[in-house]
Chain A
Amino acid sequence: MTTGPARPPARLPWFDTRLPRMRGDITWIYLWGAPLRVSHWLAAVSLVVLFGTGLFISFPFWVSAGEASGHFLMGRFRFVHFLAATVIVFAGIIRVYWLFAGNQFERWPALWPFTRANIGHMGAMLKSYLTLDPKIQPHFVGHNPLAQVAYTAIYVGTTIMMITGFTLYGQSNPGGFFFTIFQWVPGMMGGLQGVRVVHHTVAWLYPIFFSIHIYLAIRADYIERAGVVSSMLTGGRFVASHEKFEDCDLGDHPSVPWHTGEHPTWVKPQ
């Protein structure tokens, strides 16, 4: 490749004039480490499966006819529930590791966004969602604080689900590992039925979260055009050089093509 004077951008006969394009000094920043992304997708799949199978366990709406020996319907649902439970535990272990090894947006202090400034930002986010006006929306490199509250709630909820779930699971093998390490749980929740109620009630957190979260992720991508959804796949998103962020000052960042390998991989804390 020869290096010459900057060439005009390639022209595509139709699109160029009709579609609005993002212009300017745009760069790709690497935000979400691979462990975060892996744990995100493991959690996404397993939590959907856990909610679906849990629903069946709590209300077995299909009844199978004939000899019991010919069927294993509840058995299968429970098996898949427990299989997904091991996956969510695995995802949780990765996420906890990354709470200590990740960047400033992934570390444990990020889980608690309730600073005075952030509470104001939450109000602004809410207002922007309600008025549909993206111009009044504050910008963040990482999660916006409202989203962070939802993620923290999901982490807390999932911890509760794991503790109550493995307590119930342990009952089939009294004296066994899970039975023994979670012996303190039934006493705290007013017996095994209390544990079941907690497990059953917290489960409703998930369908509420699923639709809002997926919607807002896709919506942010649609409005901001910063590649936010793919940030959970590739790890990075786009930022424009003049864009002001509330959670971080990106400073001067010349646009460097990704393939040169000189992209900024870290962002300075404010």
Chain B
Amino acid sequence: MFLRKAEPWLDGSTLGEHLEESGVSRRSFLEFCTEMAVVLGLGSAAAPSVAKALETQKRPTVIWLEMQECTGCVESTIRSEAPTIGDLVLDVVSLDYSETLMAAAGHAAEKARADSMAKNKGSYVLIVTGSVPTKEDGIYCCVAGKTIRQHLEEAAEGAAAIIALGACAHWGSVQAARPNPTGAVGVRDIIKNKPIINIAGCPPIGDVVTATVVHYLTFGRLPSTDREGRPLFAYGNRIHDQCSRRAHFDAGQYVEVFDDENARRGWCLYQVGCKGPATYSPCPIVQWNQRTSWPIGAGHPCIGCTEPYFWDTMSPFYRRLPNVGGFGVEERIDTIGASLAIGAAAGVAAHAGMTVLHQIRSRKNMKQLPEHAPASPEDSNNG
């Protein structure tokens, strides 16, 4: 539970009632709804309908499965200096089962989950963080005597929808990076018959998680997504096209090494490996830790953590192009390419010189034909 002080949200009571009990003012609730409506791309005019839908919402059942992971995603989701109203809404997610957040432990915890899953079969939301190891029958991650794959399959069975939270849950993230010793895969590789939404990022921004849950509560369905399963309201635009350093990119002003004068001036991080041009994420707009800052804002190039298999496809993080077949493209390909191009030009020059010498010599020996001579093969045979 995020808010220890808050009253528990009781089964059967609506969110409106719950907020009132917890002492949340109507005004701050509406402010929250406006913010969410804006993050969701609905515009602030939609705030009243969001508020209405949320208020009348009965407490949904949410099961949070933590698989092979670092808890970074949980951290990011609950990260808040001062508890926000978003946490209150997110309160819902902690209740039925979450290894990190729940108070219960051991058999009691397992029982609570089993009971809740049985009671709310077909209607609960399953949040998943972490990846599923598949090698050696998945023994790399076991909870309560079962592999995490079994847990996932059981929990997915009765879920209405699955929220894959973080890069691990969708693509396996760091565990799935080459050589992927545990055979880690994401939820989508195991569960094929449920709607899965991909809250991408390592970790994702907490506000995006909140907004997705709000969307689900408001509309009763998951938000629309792109081809990677990421909600469009958050992942619809490229970092590069929303970046505060973009003016420096277009101007041709780049940081060349991290401690140069240009870095101090806040110029574009393109040359030190920024993956903003290949990354879809709301970081520049939503920002992190209550809009404190974001990586590029703080002078670090984007590492592309919301993109598929980013540990393999986006690394090395401080070079513009990835490694292919284990070597750096910019170094090798450019060396090979430039050598071939220069070699071709040099070869051409040498060949041209030799051709001219050869021609001069052989033309000296060419027969001079008398005027009006009949055409003969040698005559026009150049050479």
Contact A74 to B307, CB < 8 A, known contacts A23-B375, A208-B341: no
Interface residue B291 (Cβ < 8 Å from any Cβ of A): no
Q: Are B348 and A58 in contact (CB under 8 A)?
A: no
Least CB distance, A229 to chain B, in whole angstroms: 14
A20 to B254, CA, bound (A): 60
Which residue of A22, A58, A191, A211 is within 8 Å of B380 (Cβ)?
A22
Q: Are A193 and B304 in contact (CB under 8 A)?
A: yes
Least CB distance, A154 to chain B, in whole angstroms: 14
A8 to B372, CA, bound (A): 7
Interface residue A5 (Cβ < 8 Å from any Cβ of B): no
> Which of B15-23, B109-117, B203-211, B355-363 touches A?
B355-363
A197 to B330, CA, bound (A): 9
Interface residue B45 (Cβ < 8 Å from any Cβ of A): no
- Whose C-beta in chain A lies nearest to the C-beta of B246? A68
Contact A193 to B314, CB < 8 A, known contacts A132-B358, A174-B280, A204-B333: yes
Q: Are A197 and B321 in contact (CB under 8 A)?
A: yes
What is the 8 Å Cβ interface bit string for chain B, positions 336-358, against chain A (1 contact, 0 not)?
A: 11101100110110011011001
Q: Are A68 and B368 in contact (CB under 8 A)?
A: no
Point out which of A62, A132, A133 has the most chain B C-beta atoms below 10 A from its C-beta.
A132
Chain A residues whose CB sits within 8 angstroms of the CB of B75 once the complex forms? none
- Whose C-beta in chain A lies nearest to the C-beta of B237? A174
Chain B residues whose CB sits within 8 angstroms of the CB of A9 once the complex forms? 371
Chain A residues whose CB sits within 8 angstroms of the CB of B347 once the complex forms? 212
Interface residue B118 (Cβ < 8 Å from any Cβ of A): no
Q: Are B320 and A58 in contact (CB under 8 A)?
A: yes
Q: Are B241 and A172 in contact (CB under 8 A)?
A: yes
Which residue of B252, B354, B375 is within 8 Å of A60 (Cβ)?
B252
What is the 8 Å Cβ interface bit string for chain B, positions 267-294, against chain A (1 contact, 0 not)?
A: 0001100010110100000000000000
Interface residue A127 (Cβ < 8 Å from any Cβ of B): no
Chain A residues whose CB sits within 8 angstroms of the CB of B227 once the complex forms? 183, 187
Chain B residues whose CB sits within 8 angstroms of the CB of A73 once the complex forms? 250-252
Interface residue A103 (Cβ < 8 Å from any Cβ of B): no
Which residue of B247, B256, B314, B382 is within 8 Å of A224 (Cβ)?
B382
A204 to B332, CA, bound (A): 12
Q: Are B371 and A193 in contact (CB under 8 A)?
A: no
A22 to B254, CA, bound (A): 60
Q: Are A74 and B375 in contact (CB under 8 A)?
A: no
Interface residue A37 (Cβ < 8 Å from any Cβ of B): no
A208 to B336, CA, bound (A): 11
In chain B, positions 305-346 with a C-beta closer than 8 Å to chain A are 307-309, 313-314, 320-322, 324, 329-330, 333-334, 336-338, 340-341, 344-345
Q: Are B237 and A20 in contact (CB under 8 A)?
A: no
Which residue of B304, B324, B340, B383 is within 8 Å of A204 (Cβ)?
B340
Least CB distance, B293 to chain A, in whole angstroms: 20
Which residue of A60, A197, A203 is within 8 Å of B270 (Cβ)?
A60
Q: Are A68 and B329 in contact (CB under 8 A)?
A: no
- Whose C-beta in chain B lies nearest to the C-beta of A130? B351
Q: Are A208 and B340 in contact (CB under 8 A)?
A: yes
Chain A residues whose CB sits within 8 angstroms of the CB of B355 once the complex forms? 132, 219, 222-223
Interface residue B94 (Cβ < 8 Å from any Cβ of A): no
A267 to B315, CA, bound (A): 56
Q: How many A-B residue pairs have CB under 8 A?
A: 168
Interface residue B238 (Cβ < 8 Å from any Cβ of A): yes
Interface residue B369 (Cβ < 8 Å from any Cβ of A): yes
A134 to B354, CA, bound (A): 13
- Whose C-beta in chain B lies nearest to the C-beta of A183? B227
Q: Are A204 and B252 in contact (CB under 8 A)?
A: no
Interface residue A264 (Cβ < 8 Å from any Cβ of B): no
Point out which of B241, B280, B375 has the most chain A C-beta atoms below 10 A from its C-beta.
B375
A171 to B345, CA, bound (A): 36
Interface residue B248 (Cβ < 8 Å from any Cβ of A): yes
Interface residue A162 (Cβ < 8 Å from any Cβ of B): no
Least CB distance, B188 to chain A, in whole angstroms: 14
Chain B residues whose CB sits within 8 angstroms of the CB of A69 once the complex forms? 247, 251
A103 to B268, CA, bound (A): 52
> Which of A80-88, A108-116, A236-244 touches B?
A236-244
Q: Are B373 and A23 in contact (CB under 8 A)?
A: yes
Interface residue B189 (Cβ < 8 Å from any Cβ of A): no
Interface residue B12 (Cβ < 8 Å from any Cβ of A): no
A63 to B248, CA, bound (A): 10
Q: Are B352 and A24 in contact (CB under 8 A)?
A: no
A212 to B354, CA, bound (A): 15
In chain A, positions 59-84 with a C-beta closer than 8 Å to chain B are 60, 62-65, 68-75, 77
Least CB distance, B252 to chain A, in whole angstroms: 3
- Whose C-beta in chain B lies nearest to the C-beta of A215? B348
Q: Are B382 and A134 in contact (CB under 8 A)?
A: yes
Residue numbers of B with Cβ under 8 A of A are 226-227, 236-238, 240-241, 247-254, 256, 262, 270-271, 275, 277-278, 280, 304, 307-309, 313-314, 320-322, 324, 329-330, 333-334, 336-338, 340-341, 344-345, 347-348, 351-352, 354-355, 358-359, 363, 366, 368-369, 371-373, 375-377, 379-383
Given contacts A174-B280, A204-B337, A207-B341, 15 further A-B contacts (CB under 8 A): A58-B320, A60-B270, A63-B252, A65-B253, A72-B250, A73-B250, A171-B238, A172-B240, A193-B313, A204-B333, A204-B340, A212-B347, A223-B355, A223-B383, A242-B377
Please name the 10 residue pairs, one residue from A and one from B, whose CB atoms are nearest each other, closest first. Answer: A24-B375, A73-B252, A204-B337, A71-B251, A192-B278, A207-B341, A75-B250, A68-B247, A68-B251, A134-B383
Q: What are 26 A-B residue pairs whose CB atoms fall within 8 Å in the complex?
A: A8-B372, A22-B382, A23-B369, A23-B379, A24-B380, A26-B380, A68-B250, A75-B250, A75-B251, A75-B252, A132-B355, A191-B308, A191-B314, A193-B304, A193-B322, A196-B320, A197-B322, A201-B329, A203-B337, A204-B333, A204-B337, A208-B341, A211-B348, A212-B344, A215-B352, A219-B352
